Chain A
Amino acid sequence: MTTLTLAKALNEGLRRSMEDDPKVLVMGEDVGKLGGVFRVTDGLQKDFGEDRVIDTPLAESGIIGTAIGLALRGYRPVCEIQFDGFVFPAADQIITQLAKMPLRSLGTLKLPVVVRIPCGGGIGAVEHHSESPEAYFTHTAGLRVVACSNPADAYTMIQDAVRCDDPIIFFEPKRRYWDKADVDLAAPGLSLDRARTVRQGRDITLVAYGPMVKTCLEAAAAAEEDGRSIEVIDLRSLNPLDVDVLTESVTRTGRCVVAHEAPVFTGFGAELAARITERCFYSLEAPVLRVGGFSTPYPPSRLEDHYLPDLDRVLDAVDRSFAY
């Protein structure tokens, strides 16, 4: 066991991927000498050279577009988008090209491109540095979308993502980059498309991913003192979705709250609520409730504590569920 921050776990995972496969490249803005603004690629250029860890011009569409070309030539690029709010210049390449080219080729082309995006708020940043754009990408067929929530998963999930032949949007919870945990560098992780029950409970199921998993675990611990037994599921993969784990849990507990930082309106939680309701209708004691960001742009950082669902807002949603 090694104690690692989430950022360092990603770094170690990337290092391992690059050692295992000479076709793996890292590319993005400031990923070289600086090691990325969050230091996720720290030291990689020094060890693997400028041809494999590429400091790119400052243009996101260019990063994804050239990564597609490199993938067509047999490489496995891992692209860093510096902040969530800067992915939109690359949205065209991601949505019209990266996601659809394998289908366009009738399966003859594989595009093993990983697009790493630090996501979410909570770090007191200026505008465009705190967003949660996952629903734009889960709505795009052809992409896989995953979100890690802790150092151990970060370490294995990034390696699995690099090995995967599908293009992947890989969300990293930026306010959790500095969270530490023990990581077994030798242990294989849970399969990339599986959800994990991170806390068992009897009374209600909390579903989260990325930065909100920790919030939900804290909420569950607090609720236990009040005698409520909360189950927490870390989705890990948003597309494909591990519906069976959700179904089993909610069928058992009869109640479900979905939590994410993104706005609730047409957010990923809406899909979860609909699917869970379809699967578990006769077991539900209350409608599936959602807690998340408001239907507004992300606020200035002095207000972000009001915008981001915290332990109390999650438990408030739990209370509302029990009120039915």
Chain B
Amino acid sequence: MTADAPRGVDAPPELVQLLTPEGERVEHPDYDIELTAEEVRSLYRDLVLVRRIDLEAVALQRQGELGIWASLLGQEAAQIGSGRALTDADMAFPTYREHGVAWCRDVDPVKLLGLFRGVSNGGWDPAEHNFHLYTIVIGSQALHAVGYAMGIQRDGAEAATIVYFGDGATSQGDVNESFIWASVFNAPVVFFCQNNQWAISEPLEKQSKIPLYKRASGFGFPGIRVDGNDVFACLAVTRRALQNAREGQGPTMIEAFTYRMGAHTTSDDPTRYRLADELEAWKLKDPIERVKAYLFKNQLADQEFFEKIDAEADALGKDVRSRCLALPDPPPGAIFDHVYAGAHPLLDEEREQYLTYLAGFER
């Protein structure tokens, strides 16, 4: 592929796919999945709702209500498929774009928005959801996930960790170190790389000369490439990798081959570096449309169902919007809270001085 050719138009042959872009179920020699109609409908609902949350967040940013937003548009299947593969005991370590995984872990979307609105730098209790805080420094969380997995090993627990990162992060030292650690300690961790083809403006060719999933073999564990726009395949492949990890078979790297349909963040302008026909080609691989087609073709859902989900999505969008707008700014004294576990004399002094200074304006 040349640098200018639309990437991903021809799906790579080694891709695990169970549902085609046209909504046809296909067999794979190594992976299969049995889903009830209710389970497929539930996955469809997840996909539609997280896209709606994302859309609302982009709109809120455009209206000045969020400082920035990192859209997951196009990556819903990768996130819902992998997120729904997790058990309650598993632990997930996200980047800052895993809104779909957060949804699967029951994190209130408004808490995600709070971070981008600037009311906190995190905002949820990771232990409550087994979903760690968003990590903004690229790739740092991969080491945290491996360390956490080493803790699971020491606890003798029936659990695994999954860590999310992108194609750009595979160039980071921390990600490569995490591969080494996971390998030599046989840690129960799944490396879930969403290869969305772009690290802001840099195409995959700037990060790797080989397919990303092939990196794993050099570190001594299996790597597999899955159609990241196929929620069935993402679910099946991630389930297997997590189960292998829980059973002591060590790490797996999953490369979910997908596409970032939107900008890197709302501050980005992709028209400066990529071609419209690439986007058009990927629109035909939409992760939601193929599930909808599958449900229709197999008469697993009727028009009423789709209308109901759309209505639910609209209501969710409204709810997220109104609660986002109602988020109170933290009081100035909050700057000093939680920096240390206990009291800190200098912070206490600075807090008191600053609040006294502020009070001077109220007289």
A: residues with CB less than 8 A from B are 51, 56-57, 59, 61-62, 64-75, 89, 92-93, 96-97, 100-110, 141-142, 144, 164-166, 239-241, 243
Contacts and interface: CB of A to CB of B under 8 A. Distances in A.
Instruction: Determine which residue in A56, A70, A71 has the highest number of CB atoms from chain B within 10 A of its CB, and name it.
Output: A70
B120 A106 contact: yes
A217 B120 CA distance: 47
A102 B126 CA distance: 11
Contacts of B133: 101, 104-105, 109
A184 B342 CA distance: 28
A257 B112 CA distance: 50
B341 A75 contact: no
A120 B120 CA distance: 38
20 contacts: A57-B181, A59-B173, A61-B173, A62-B177, A65-B142, A66-B146, A66-B178, A68-B144, A73-B151, A92-B140, A93-B140, A96-B137, A97-B144, A102-B339, A102-B341, A104-B133, A108-B128, A110-B341, A166-B342, A240-B345
Contacts of A51: 153-154
Contacts of A166: 340-342
Interface string B173-214: 110011011001000000000000000000000000000000
A59 B341 contact: no
B338 interface: yes
Contacts of B122: 104-106
B276 interface: no
A107 B337 contact: yes
A257 to B, nearest CB: 23
A71 B338 CA distance: 17
A239 B340 CA distance: 11
A324 to B, nearest CB: 29
A86 to B, nearest CB: 14
Contact of B346 (A72, A75, A97, A241): A241
A65 B155 contact: no
Contact of A69 (B120, B148, B341): B148
Nearest to B152: A73
A92 B137 contact: yes
Contacts of A74: 151
B126 A165 contact: no
B126 A62 contact: no
Nearest to B161: A69
B121 interface: yes
Contacts of B127: 108-109
Contacts of B140: 65, 92-93, 96-97
Given A69-B151, A105-B125, A62 B143 contact: yes
Contacts of A141: 339
Given A70-B148, A100-B121, A101-B133, A65 B178 contact: yes
B145 A69 contact: yes
B149 interface: yes
A59 B148 CA distance: 18
Query: 10 smallest A-B Cβ distances: which pairs?
Result: A69-B147, A65-B143, A73-B151, A66-B147, A165-B341, A107-B338, A62-B177, A104-B122, A69-B148, A69-B144
B180 A72 contact: no
B222 interface: no
Contacts of A70: 147-148, 150-151
A153 to B, nearest CB: 20
Contacts of B151: 69-70, 72-75
Contacts of A73: 147-148, 150-152, 155
Contacts of B132: 72
Contacts of A93: 140, 143, 174
Given A65-B143, A65-B174, A108-B126, A102 B338 contact: yes
